[in-house]
């Protein structure tokens, strides 16, 4: 029998793998590449949340703190900056850095028509739920306030969000302005349009929206639904300035129509009690500027195609100043509005 040298014997499982060295190198290179990609993605904001599909024009919880991937001149919490802090910048010798995510915007004086700031004010873009301001206007002008509106399953199916209104409940036209403007309820907008059209189609109501937009001078505005869910509800910052002037001057000068929609949109919430037609409901305002002492009203919007939109009116030195922001990044409409308003104050007052 042949003897075995235990010292010089190497077991099969202990033999070095000829491929082991290259594999370690490949693994190390792969890890380095992944780390570099991750760093680049964060640096260049490749994970912007607007790349994700946003379903629905609004949801009951829309006051979103800006994602950490955004770079801003100063941190913005989900709270309202008091107006005096914005005016302090007028006495500061240091030049304030200015940057907003809104692609199309306008800041103007509703009464004088003076435009303080604007960017691409005639560019036609989706406006999302700002459409509901016009839906309310058409309902106010062409529907009787006491007309009964039945919430059908067809109306509820327009958006899968949960607003608390049930199929079969019946409301008056005037009651539905609160969920439409405060809660940005898509089903309510659909129900109003269906009622105007006889119960089965919104075509007649949408035609009235387009006809009336042309009548008041919104020449680049077009609607295809009463909610703003479609990307084909489009307008411009200049046209929305015209709408703000029309609604504001109607209430301040002529007082021909009720209710005052901007006054309504200042309310933190509105409750209605149980009746034989519907249960009790509390409609909570989702506007981020509710409670701001100089907030005069406005309307929010959000869809994937429109980004975030916001029309806001502030009082400053007894002047109504409207700030219109379109195509803001997700979570940034409040910051953009505040930054634009502060800049307009610094440079014009």
101: in domain = yes
Question: What local confidence, expressed as pLDDT, does residue 103 receive?
Answer: 95
Which residues partner with 144 through β-bridges? none
10: in domain = no
Q: By the 8 A CB rule, do 288 and 80 touch?
A: yes
294: in domain = yes
Q: Are strands 281-284 and 295-303 parallel, antiparallel or unpaired?
A: unpaired
Mean pLDDT of 82-96: 43
Report whether pLDDT(69) > 50. no
Which residues partner with 328 through β-bridges? 308
Question: What local confidence, expressed as pLDDT, does residue 98 receive?
Answer: 81
Number of domains the chain contains: 1
Q: Is 8 left (phi over 0), alpha (psi -120 to 50) or beta?
A: alpha
- CATH number for the domain spanning 148: value is 3.40.710.10
95: in domain = yes
**Exposed (0-12), middle (13-18) or buried (19+): which is 255, by Cβ within 10 Å?**
exposed
41: in domain = no
Mean pLDDT of 61-86: 36
Report whether pLDDT(244) > 70. yes
Alpha helices (H) in the chain, listed in sequence order: 20-43, 83-87, 131-142, 153-156, 173-181, 186-196, 203-215, 237-249, 261-264, 333-348
Q: How far is CA 117 from CA 183, 241, 268, 322, 339, in A?
A: 29, 12, 29, 11, 11
Q: What percent of the chain has a predicted confidence (pLDDT) above 70?
A: 70
75: in domain = no
Average the pLDDT over each of 16-20, 21-25, 128-132, 276-280 and give the range with the smallest value.
16-20
Which tokens go with 4? 């075995």
Please choose, from the candidates 281, 239, 21, the residue with its C-alpha nearest in 3D space to the C-alpha of residue 120.
239
Question: What local confidence, expressed as pLDDT, does residue 258 receive?
Answer: 74
Report whether pLDDT(79) > 60. no
As a whole number of angstroms, the distance between CA 226 and CA 203 comes to: 10
Mean pLDDT of 139-165: 93
Q: What percent of the chain has a predicted confidence (pLDDT) above 90?
A: 66
Question: What local confidence, expressed as pLDDT, does residue 161 receive?
Answer: 73
Report whether pLDDT(296) > 60. yes
Q: What is the residue range of 235's domain?
A: 83-348
Q: Mention every residue, 6+ apart, whose C-beta is less than 8 A from residue 243.
A: 133, 134, 137, 216, 218, 311
Question: What local confidence, expressed as pLDDT, does residue 81 receive?
Answer: 41
103: in domain = yes
Please choose, from the candidates 131, 135, 340, the residue with its C-alpha nearest in 3D space to the C-alpha of residue 233.
131
158: in domain = yes
Q: How confident is the model at residue 267 (pLDDT cuts 50, 70, 90)?
A: very high
Mean pLDDT of the chain: 81
């Amino acid at each position: 029998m042949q003897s075995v040298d235990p010292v010089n014997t190497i077991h099969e499982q202990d033999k070095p793998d000829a491929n082991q060295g290259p594999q370690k190198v490949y693994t190390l290179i792969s890890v380095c590449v992944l780390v570099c990609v991750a760093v680049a993605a964060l640096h260049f904001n490749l994970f912007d949340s607007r790349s994700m599909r946003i379903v629905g024009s609004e949801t009951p919880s829309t006051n979103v703190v800006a994602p950490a991937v955004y770079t801003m001149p100063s941190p913005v919490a989900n709270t309202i900056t008091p107006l005096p802090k914005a005016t302090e910048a007028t006495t500061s010798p240091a030049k304030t850095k200015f940057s907003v995510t809104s692609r199309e915007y306008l800041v103007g004086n509703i009464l004088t028509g003076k435009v303080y700031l604007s960017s691409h004010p005639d560019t036609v873009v989706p406006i999302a739920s700002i459409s509901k301001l016009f839906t309310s206007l058409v309902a106010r002008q062409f529907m009787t306030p006491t007309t009964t509106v039945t919430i059908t399953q067809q109306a509820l199916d327009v958006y899968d969000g949960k607003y608390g209104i049930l199929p079969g409940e019946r409301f008056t036209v005037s009651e539905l302005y609160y969920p439409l403007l405060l809660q940005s309820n898509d089903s309510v907008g659909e129900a109003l349009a269906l009622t105007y059209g006889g119960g089965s189609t919104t075509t007649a109501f949408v035609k009235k929206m387009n006809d009336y937009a042309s009548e008041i001078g919104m020449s680049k505005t077009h609607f295809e639904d009463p909610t703003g869910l479609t990307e084909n509800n489009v307008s411009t910052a200049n046209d929305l300035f015209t709408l703000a002037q029309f609604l504001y001057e109607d209430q301040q000068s002529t007082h021909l129509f009720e209710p005052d929609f901007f006054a309504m949109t200042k309310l933190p919430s509105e409750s209605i009690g149980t009746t034989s037609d519907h249960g009790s409901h509390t409609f909570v305002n989702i506007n981020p500027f509710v409670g701001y002492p100089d907030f005069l009203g406005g309307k929010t919007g959000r869809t994937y195609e429109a980004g975030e939109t916001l029309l806001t009116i502030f009082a400053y030195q007894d002047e109504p100043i409207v700030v219109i922001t379109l195509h803001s990044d997700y979570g940034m409409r409040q910051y953009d509005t505040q930054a634009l308003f502060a800049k307009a104050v610094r440079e014009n007052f």
